[in-house]
Structure 1
Amino acid sequence: MARGRGRGRARKPTRFADGSTAWAPSGQQEDTSSTPTRSVPQQEHTMDPTGSTPEMGAPEIGTSEGPSIQHEETISASQLMQMMVQQQVAAREDIMRMVEVQQQFLQQQLQQQQAMYQQQQQQQFQGTTAQPEHRVSLLDFQRYAPPAFKGTADPMEAVSWLKQMEKVFQALRCPDEEKVLFATFMLQGEAADWWEMEKGKLGPDDAPFIWEEFKKVFHEKYFPQGIRFQKYREFDRLEQGDMTVAQYAAKFEEMSRYAPTLISEESDRARKFENGLRGRIQQQVAAFELSSYKDVVNKALVIEKGLDNAQAAREK
């Protein structure tokens, strides 16, 4: 009876500590009190979504190596962004420098224009306008065919040559420092030798000579003091005499160069000419009390013509 009950007992599965179960073979008596034999757990492999088993040693997604790669990529992107920002800052600085340089240039131009405008206004206010320096070439001078001077014992010939030089200089508007150069270029023979010795006394070869200095030494050589005094007295005693008014005026103007102190004023010149007229002409001119030399000459010519016409009428 005991065996029959034992064979008829229901079997129960054996449960292990890892949670797995196993059925004991039939006929083997179960001993629930005995400790079941533990089986070595097998390593489970995680399947990837494709159903394949990852190789041993390969990093799995979500392991510690994944975040490392992402960190490196993040650092590279940060450096690139920083470089781009630095380039933009440098470009802005370059633009600001260019703008600053342009502003300085425009400010300088404005200052220059203002200075030029003020200078022009000042010149207009003073009534002067800057003109380019007037220059005369030797070729321009020779176009007027100036006469040569070889020296002479006749003072009037020397004075006449000097007068012709001054007429050419006036026509050319010749600067003072070039007058001596052109005049001495026309000296020949004895006159050229005289000038070579004379300019050595005046100063170094490269020293400029003004026209008034040249005329002074020229007069001392060819129109000495004794002759000048003689001409001075001739002018002082000059009268119309048998000359016509026109002839008297020409002689008066020629001789007046030798006595400039006698006619330094326009009124003195007019009185000197008037006092030298013939009696009847002088009396009628004096009645007008003219103070201009030109007016005295013109009035004397008119009166002379009237007297000549009256004389001719009486002789008929």
Structure 2
Amino acid sequence: MFTSPGPLLFQLGPFSLRWYGLLIAVAVLLGLMLSTRLGRRRGIEPAMIADLLPILVLAAVLGARLYYVVLEWRQYQLNWLDALAIWQGGIAIHGALIGGSLAVVVYCRWRKLAFWNLLDVLVPSVALGQAIGRWGNFFNSEAFGLPTDLPWRLFIPAVNRPATFVDEQFFHPTFLYESLWNLAVVALLLTLFQLGSRGRIALPAGALSCIYLISYSLGRFWIEGLRIDPLCLFSTPPFCEGGLRMAQLMSLLLIAAGSIGLICFYRGARRLQSESGPSEPFQGTNP
């Protein structure tokens, strides 16, 4: 059974440190280290990754907040200034992915870098950051699933339970499910990256990013079905009756986009190989 010790790591007078903030800092640091190491294998200078990081983090946070506010505007329409109070909670990973991707596009155009080459270096760190960051939901007693009596059930304090389940105590630890799933995605991406770098498999630039979209979205689609606090389209939680769970809809769109991308990248790779001739085998990346 899981029980959160609370959101605060420690407090000293007016200064407090929250678990969520610490986890994000650790995720950013580990992501920088991992992306820098992978970048060297793709010929990307470490300084390029370091310069991109603050831009990427800022764009991801803004995108995550904007995405959430747009879908939950009914909470903010009476006092829209509350939409700026990000410290009160309310962010969405799909908004972070959109904002971060746009930042990478702009950065690549500015520094004249190959977009897909850079994105392939970043996605393992993104998945790792998601795996770490989900534990912030545990400490905040949020983003949990339906009631359950499984041995690994999560205790949720009464103040954090929705009115529909106020008499329930134990819920699915969806934070744990997604954290473990994302760790598996990290392992998959790193394995494919290594095999591609050694020439054991053909891995065109962009293919790894597409595999991330597909693999992450498959897990998110399943896990989102267990959650009781989804962002809904044209309806309200906990079940989005008569509407759509936005995370599941986005997951389906990303799976489709990743699948189409893989087809296009490998078709392009085969075309380059046929044009180069048998004496110049395809090396695993495209221009």
| Larger RCO, structures 1/2 (Cα 8 Å, 6+ apart) | 2
TM-score normalised per structure 1 = 0.20
Instruction: From the CA coordinates, give the structure whose radius of gyration is larger.
Output: 1
Give the strand-richer structure, 1 or 2.
Answer: 2
